[in-house]
Chain A
Amino acid sequence: MKRDPIVLLVVAVVISLMLVFGIQKTRHRPQHSGEKLEGQPAPDFSLSALDGKTLKLSDFHGKAVLLNFWATWCEPCKVEMPWFVDLQAKYRPQGLQVLGVAMDDASPKEISEFAKKMGVNYPIVIGKEAVGDEYGGIPYLPSTFYISRDGKVLERRFGLVSRSEIEADIQKALATPGQVAQK
């Protein structure tokens, strides 16, 4: 059968375009190792809180957890924080726990002052890069993970998203089955 050169060229171009778009689509996602974190148990950690106590993620088992990686130098993070404050107050009775992880080189005192200034009403722990790596790497901030009541990662959001999207993710996490927290 004779091969039509035009057809071959078109096929080659189409395949190339598909591959190029595939690569581009991949690269627009954050580059982490943990591509399949959703649906997996959220990696537990033990980190120092601003009050000096040690907090574990597993301390909040039974609650829907909004795990927010942030830093004092991150302006978009500052936009979200008042929303988290409101949403924590609104959904606390239903079992929401917002937990901030400061990926900062500022001192705990500075972070504490910053949090106070922002009116934060939820615990903040001092982050470590290793913890970020456990979550597939935190290439930029804010990065937020939504964890179900039974401790699984439901969603992760990179960068600033709207309040309504945050609230929708919270409601999704709250709707997950699991024991009701006693804390």
Chain B
Amino acid sequence: MWRTALLVSMLALGLAAADDLGLNRRSAVTFQAPELSSVHRGTASTVPLQFRIASGFHINSNQPKQEYLKKTELKLDPPTDIVIEKITYPEAQELSFAFAPEEKLSVYSGNFSIQVTVRPLQSVLPANYAVHGRLNYQACDKAACYPPKQLPVSFEVKVVKSAPGIKRNPAQSPHAHS
């Protein structure tokens, strides 16, 4: 029985310690890597990137109303021949907080998604390509703000041959005769 009691204590302690470490080390925003997306050469495709903001926190949107606030911004460093055509941010929430109830802030909270439009050039070889980058954000809770942070972001795209019917460069296409 002593063993059971000891085991119960150790388990509870372990859980508490693990939770504690998690809280201290985790950032206010986490990134959920998307599943591998297939994209056709020469064609623009959208890859949705999912982020989660921890409960009780908010971050500024990509277009905060107040000039001094740090905007949330995704910076990507794609491989050569993979073009990032567009980054689309979600619609912001207009919220007021206890620290300034008369003021509306343009923020994200909870889960949000950033749409990344990628277009592999026609010249790129079909293969998997990793796109690395970072999400710049600055989080606050109801009473305090945390220093600006950079969350590493990466996702993979599987480049496949051009979709049928796409003939951007007919002279080099094996299907040019059709």
- Set A12, A13, A26: member contacting B6, Cβ < 8 A: A12
Q: How far is the CB of A54 from chain B (nearest CB, A)?
A: 25
Contact B69 A75 (CB under 8 A): yes
Known A-B contacts A12-B6, A16-B12, A23-B16; the reply to A75 vs B140 at CB < 8 A is yes
- How many Å from the CB of A128 to the closest CB on chain B? 13
| B residues near A19, Cβ cutoff 8 Å | 9, 12-13, 16
- A22-34, CB under 8 A of B: which get 1 and which 0? 0110110001000
Contact residue among A24, A103, A142, A158 (Cβ-Cβ distance under 8 Å from B16): A24
Specify the chain B residue showing the minimal Cβ separation from A70: B145
Write the nearest CB–CB distance from A94 to chain B, whole angstroms.
Answer: 28
Q: Is A53 an interface residue (CB 8 A)?
A: no
Q: Is the CB of A79 within 8 A of B100?
A: yes
A89 at the interface (CB under 8 A from B): no
* Chain B nearest CB, measured from A133 CB (Å): 13
Chain A, 90-134, CB within 8 A of any chain B CB: 103, 105-106, 110, 114
Binary contact readout A54-92 vs B (1 if CB under 8 angstroms, 0 otherwise): 000000000000000001111111110000000000000
Residues 103-141 of B at the A interface (beta carbon under 8 Å): 103, 105, 138, 140-141
Are the C-beta atoms of B144 and A142 separated by less than 8 Å?
yes
A73 and B138 form a contact (CB under 8 A) = yes
A39 contacts the other chain (Cβ, under 8 Å)?
no
Q: Which chain A positions have C-beta within 8 A of B140?
A: 74-76
Residues of A within 8 A of B171 (CB): none
Q: Which of B24, B99, B103 contacts A27 (CB 8 A)?
A: B24
Q: How far is the CB of B7 from chain A (nearest CB, A)?
A: 8
Task: Give chain A's interface secondary structure class.
Answer: helix
B1-27: which have CB < 8 Å to A?
Answer: 1-2, 4-6, 8-9, 11-13, 15-17, 20, 23-24
Are A13 and B23 interface neighbours, CB within 8 A? no
- Chain B residues with CB under 8 Å of A27's CB are 20, 23-24
- Residues A140 and B144 in contact in the complex (CB < 8 Å), given A72-B68, A78-B100: yes
Main SS of chain B's interface residues?
A: mixed
Smallest Cβ-Cβ distance to A161: which chain B residue: B143
Of A9, A139, A140, the contact of B1 (CB 8 Å cutoff)? A9
Please determine whether B12 and A75 come into contact, CB atoms closer than 8 angstroms. Answer: no
Contact A8 B1 (CB under 8 A): yes
Task: Report yes or no: B8 in contact with A12, Cβ–Cβ below 8 A.
Answer: yes
Residue A180, interface by CB 8 Å: no
In the complex, A159 Cα to B70 Cα: how many Å?
A: 18
Q: Is B148 an interface residue (CB 8 A)?
A: yes
Say yes or no: B8 contacts A13, CB within 8 Å. Answer: yes
Q: Pick the contact of B145: A9, A15, A17, A140 (CB < 8 A).
A: A140
B5 touches A11 (CB 8 A): yes
Known: A16-B13, A19-B16, A31-B24. 18 other contacts (CB 8 A): A5-B1, A8-B1, A19-B13, A23-B16, A72-B68, A73-B68, A73-B69, A75-B99, A103-B147, A105-B148, A106-B68, A114-B68, A140-B146, A141-B144, A141-B145, A141-B146, A142-B144, A160-B144
22 pairs across A/B with beta carbons < 8 Å? Answer: A8-B2, A8-B5, A9-B4, A9-B5, A16-B13, A19-B9, A20-B15, A24-B20, A26-B20, A27-B20, A27-B23, A71-B147, A73-B68, A74-B145, A75-B99, A76-B100, A76-B140, A76-B143, A140-B145, A140-B146, A140-B147, A159-B141
